[in-house]
Chain A
Amino acid sequence: MTLPDLASQILYGRLGWAIVFATVVCALWRGAAPIGRPALAAIMAAALALMALPGNLSPAWYLGLAFQYPSGLLVGCCVLRLFERWHGMRRSQAMPQTLAGLLAVAGTLLYLDAMGLMTRGFYYAGFGGSLAPIVAVAAAVACAFAIVRAQASNAARGPAMAILGAVALFSVLRLPTGNLWDALLDPLLFGWALVALVAGALRRSSRRASDQVTTTDTETVASTVLQPVAAERFSSLKEQVGGK
């Protein structure tokens, strides 16, 4: 169990909350719509300046009071979302369905255990001297492999970079708390994953519905178009005409 020193935690908290804060401001202001680079730079600069304010003048004072520190992965996903906005991308890959599913399952188990409904000690294992470092190294290698290999399927590259960043932050500085779980998950990120899963499910169901409508429409159109042909094909008139 190696824990970070308080000074590095305070610095991390201010930077991390600034990034999360800027991401949330962008989302609340414009939704998924593009934001100009000057506006984005101004939001980021304002977020950093606000978080650097002393004592209770800083939003970090209240964010820390309520949530302590954001996980490394939440910060990574927010950096990715800001990067996407910087490049004018409307469709985000910051929380793909696979990552959201993994976070939702892991978070459910972790939080049930932490609430005392299970006694598996998942959170305690995140401090472990053997398993947690091995998992961190394995995750780093897997993410690096995914990033390098992701020429063809680039959707995986951004989230892999976010995970690699979070793992590196944990392994090198043990931020944010010295526990691997806290590097990869927090209740805010868990909430984001659940929202992403629900949004994905709604998208899929509306797509299915519209596909069905399209299929039905196509069938209707087809039957409308075919009907006269069939009617024509079997029309006795033809025979009559042919019989002329």
Chain B
Amino acid sequence: MEIFANTRPRAHGAILIGCVLLVVLVVAEEALRWSRAPSGTAPPLPSLHTVHAGPVTLTELSHTHIPAPHGMPSAHASTLTPLPGNRLLAFWWAGSRESGPDVKVFASTWANGAWSAPSMVVSRASLGAELGYGVRRIGNPVAWTDRDGRIHLYVVATGLGGWAAARIAHLVSRDHGKSFHVRRVLPTSPLFNTSALVRTAPLALSDGGWWLPVYFEIGNKYPMLMAFDAEGNPTSLARIGHSTSALQPSIVAVSKDEVRAVMRDDSNQQLVQHASSRDGGATWQDLPALDLPNYSTSVAAIRLSSGQFLMLHNHVEGGASARSLLRLSISQDMRTWRKIADIARGPAGDEFSYPSMEQVGDELHVTYTWQRQAIAHHRYRIRPEGATR
């Protein structure tokens, strides 16, 4: 370049000094970060909290709908997170229709046996104002309460395009969900950071951090995992298995050394997909699909404090359509599942989908989308088998 070719010795000296300073700055910053990073520690493992190990029975205590916001006929994709004092916080989106410009995320608190009136948490306008750029539509929320009581809310927020152009906004509340501020948009993809979504609940880690299940869905669909430290800062991102047709992973700790993911199936196999990791989520192996039908619907799985596993999934039998039968199943090993109850059942074409569940003390709380119009809530008592009270 002639412009640089004509640089005089003085300018050349300035360029030399500038280069040296920049390199020193780069080396110093990276060295400082490296020296502060925890060294030689193994990645944190999922926390395993087991009390009263052994078989359990579930008895339904109540079922209701969470109060809907006024003038919002469409509701979908609920998520639950516990609050102190055996309370719960539910989040879901509601609006005139899916992807509508008026869709917002709402929250309601479960306390003393009743749900509070819904409150608006985030809209595309409020999110855009905090991010400094536009958000086209709002989608699935996922919530997590950290050990300091902060609530982390992850919300799907799309760029230019449909759900395939989705990004994940991370919001935090320090007042038990009364107010949220945006922390950042999670970086998940080199394609304008698009096509990453959340749906299923995070999993607690032994160091106070958690794993957030994520999935990619532009063309191919594959599950991912983003790890967070106890402060809510992302620490790593990894793909789950090699599948290109599994999404919405629900992750469960099976033992101290092993975690499993059960996933929605987008292939012609139409079975609940299954993967396993034995190195703290760093690498994953695809396992044979479970013997449970899945016509591309979301599943939810948790490990009870008794050590058994529960899964909510849309079963298909006897003329049911993909989402018209929502079943609760139990397993000792995450492979063989036994039906406990059909939570909701209707004629073909009905929709009882996108389930979530949370164990709070000796109660199991279940929420799911009811006919795309409301969020249903069921409550069960969990008792050791044989116990009378």
Contacts and interface: CB of A to CB of B under 8 A. Distances in A.
Interface of A: 1-3, 5-6, 9-10, 13-14, 55-56, 60-68, 83-84, 87, 89, 93, 110-111, 114-117, 119, 121, 123-124, 126-127, 129-130, 133, 136-137, 140-141, 143-144, 147-148, 150-151, 154-155, 157-158, 164-165, 167-168, 171-172, 177-179, 181-182, 185-187
A84 B4 CA distance: 10
Among B136, B184, B218, B235, chain A packs the most CB atoms within 10 A around the CB of B184
B134 A56 contact: yes
Contacts of B160: 65-66
Given A68-B167, A172-B26, A148 B16 contact: yes
B53 to A, nearest CB: 36
Contacts, number: 169
A199 B328 CA distance: 60
B133 A150 contact: no
B234 A182 contact: no
Contact of B183 (A6, A83, A110, A130): A6
B190 interface: yes
Given A6-B182, A148-B15, A182-B190, A154 B1 contact: yes
Among B191, B194, B242, chain A packs the most CB atoms within 10 A around the CB of B191
For the residues of B in contact with A, the DSSP-based class is: mixed
Among A56, A144, A154, chain B packs the most CB atoms within 10 A around the CB of A144
A124 B188 CA distance: 8
Counting contact residues on chain B (CB < 8 A from A), the size range is 35 or more
Nearest to B242: A119
Interface of B: 1-5, 12, 15-16, 19-20, 22-23, 25-27, 29-30, 33-34, 37, 128-136, 159-160, 167, 182-185, 187, 189-194, 216, 218-222, 233-239, 242, 244
A130 B37 CA distance: 10
Given A121-B239, A187-B191, A116 B26 contact: no
Contacts of A158: 1, 4
A144 B190 contact: no
Contact of B22 (A124, A151, A164): A164
A133 B238 contact: no
Contacts of A6: 130-131, 182-184
A116 B244 contact: yes
Contacts of B237: 1, 123-124, 127
A236 B190 CA distance: 79
